[in-house]
Amino acid sequence: MPRPINAYVHPDAVEHNLQLVRRMAPESRVWAVVKANAYGHGIERVFPGLNAADGIALLDLEEAVRVRELGWKKPILLLEGVFTDSDVKTAEAFGLTVATHCDEQRQLIVAAKPKRPIDIYLKMNSGMNRLGFAPESYRAAWDRARSSDGIGNITLMTHFANADEGSVDWQLEEFDRATRNLPGERSVSNSAAALWHPNAHRDWVRPGIVLYGASPSGQSKHINDIQLRASMTLQSELIGVQAMRAGDTVGYARAYKAESDMRIGVVACGYADGYPRHAATGTPISVDGVMTRTVGRVSMDMLTVDLTPCPNAGIGSKVELWGEHVKIDDVASSANTIGYELMCALARRVPVSVTS
Ligand SMILES: *Cc1c(COP(=O)(O)O)cnc(C)c1O
């Protein structure tokens, strides 16, 4: 018997969340963003939930090939484009659309002389200052791309820096000004803009995190009013129980001290499973369906919980680390991070199954 920890991936939750995005951006087509192996879920596992998407967007060429091999016939977008000549060959062979954020990438495509023109997403840096052409050089970049052999359709693209907490208008105005009168479709919105900035929906939205039921802002309260479903459950069991006396401490650094007599449960889950080590005392967790809190330091293979609200819990009691009841955003914010990171960090040693 291995340790009792297990993760569950729910493709029907992804399907449900995708429908919600569709309803919120009814005029737009949807790229389902599945980079980083579908935000740690495994592309193959979420794939059955993606049928209704118009395209699949990701970064890794190898992941793109896997998606084609799963039978996906609709578009696939490489969000960071190509890096080598052989990438262009693969993009051509598998019919991939590629983001193009610098002239070096355009030159790679031209030099590879593809027989079938490759569609590109020409990326503007409208203020994020990571990738893309500056607004003032965008039109020239578009002209060069348009007159390049081997390049097919050009879609105009940018990415927002703070769609989750502020305005996107400062970037949208930049983007609209620099693309005025340019033909082609537009794609600018990530999850946050798809949820909260309808003026930015345009032709294609690019939701990632909402498909997995977490908040783009990292705050579960921001998505309380929409019925997203968690696409990942991390579950384990109690493998030990300690009766603590007032003044006793638990775990490394004696970081939690009992104020009165209490029972502590020991959960088979630690940071080597992907649970955040920085999750503070008080992080929500459920035991036998009862919400309680973690206490003390998270260690490599174990963490400890307050059993005061669940006096009947004992060895073998079921623990939800995150999922339907324990919001991954709440665990993340208690550890000063975001749901995205926890999903992506699920450790290889955790067995994963697909369930509804
Ligand atoms: C990751 C990514 C997205 C999706 O972002 P979410 O915040 O997960 O919705 C959209 N567009 C680009 C270019 C990305 O890299």
Within a domain: 55:
yes
Query: Probe ligand 1: pick from 206, 212, 340, max atoms within 8 Å of CB?
Result: 206
Q: Whose CA is nearest to atom 15 of ligand 1?
A: 79
Query: pLDDT tens-digit profile of 150-207?
Result: 999 999 999 999 999 889 999 999 999 999 999 999 999 999 999 999 999 999 999 9
Share of the chain above pLDDT 70, in %: 100
Q: Which atom of ligand 1 is nearest to the CA of 157?
A: 13
Q: Is the same domain home to 208 and 251?
A: no
DSSP of 142-211: HHHHHTSTTEEEEEEEE--SSTTTS-SHHHHHHHHHHHTT--S-EEEE-HHHHHH-GGG--SEE---GGG
Pocket flag, ligand 1, residue 209 (CB < 6 Å)? yes
- The ligand 1 atom at the shortest distance from the C-alpha of residue 59 is 15
Q: What percent of the chain has pLDDT over 90?
A: 99
- Are 342 and 327 contacting, i.e. CB atoms less than 8 angstroms apart? no
Q: Is 101 in the pocket of ligand 1 (CB under 6 A)?
A: no
Check pLDDT > 70 for residue 334.
yes
Instruction: Report the pLDDT value the prediction gives residue 171, as an integer from 0 to 100.
Output: 97
Tell whether the model's pLDDT for residue 280 goes beyond 70.
yes
Q: Report which protein residue has its CA nearest ligand 1's atom 3.
A: 190
- Are residue 157 and residue 181 in the same domain, yes or no? yes
| pLDDT at residue number 1 | 63
Same domain, 173 and 147: yes
Residues annotated as catalytic are 35, 252
Please check whether residue 256 lies inside any domain of the structure.
Answer: yes
User: For residues 124 and 157, what is the distance between their CA atoms, to the nearest angstrom?
Assistant: 6
Tell me which residue range forms the domain holding 145: 11-219
Tell whether 208 and 260 lie within a shared domain. Answer: no
Give per-residue pLDDT as tens, 81-100. 999 999 999 999 999 999 99
142 and 15 inside one domain: yes
Kindly report, residue by residue over 202-246, the tens digit of the pLDDT: 999 999 999 999 999 999 999 999 999 999 999 999 999 999 999
Cα–Cα distance between 37 and 196 in angstroms, integer?
26
Task: Share the mean pLDDT of the chain.
Answer: 97
CB 291 within 8 A of CB 326: yes
pTM: 0.96
**Residues 102 and 245 reside in one and the same domain:** no
Q: Are 214 and 190 in contact (CB under 8 A)?
A: no
Domain boundary among 162, 197, 219: 219
Question: Helical H runs in 25-102?
Answer: 35-39, 43-46, 61-69, 85-93
Question: Which residue, by CA, sits nearest to atom 8 of ligand 1?
Answer: 208
Same domain, 247 and 348: yes
106 shares a domain with 52? yes
CB 314 within 8 A of CB 325: no
Name the residue of 30, 190, 196 whose CB sits within 8 Å of the most ligand 1 atoms, as the mutation to test its pocket.
190
Number of compact structural domains in the chain: 2
Assigned domain for 6 exists? no
Q: How confident is the model at residue 2 (pLDDT cuts 50, 70, 90)?
A: confident
C-alpha to C-alpha distance for 152 and 146, rounded to whole angstroms: 8
What is the C-alpha separation between 231 and 16, in angstroms, rounded?
10
For residues 34 and 171, membership in a common domain is answered with yes
Q: Are residues 23 and 83 in the same domain?
A: yes
Q: Which residues of 224-237 are buried (b: 16+ CB within 10 A; e: fewer)?
A: eeeebbbbbbbbbb
Q: 33 in ligand 1 pocket by Cβ < 6 Å?
A: yes
- Helix (H) / strand (E) element for 99: namely strand 97-100
Give the C-alpha separation, 267 to 235, whole Å. Answer: 10
The CATH number linked to 269 is 2.40.37.10
Instruction: Flag whether 48 is in a domain.
Output: yes
Do both 174 and 259 map to the same domain?
A: no
| pLDDT tens, residue by residue, 64-78 | 999 999 999 999 999
Residue from 28, 79, 204 whose mutation best tests the ligand 1 pocket (most atoms within 8 A of CB): 79
Cα of 33 vs centre of ligand 1, distance in Å, is: 7
CATH of the domain at 113: 3.20.20.10
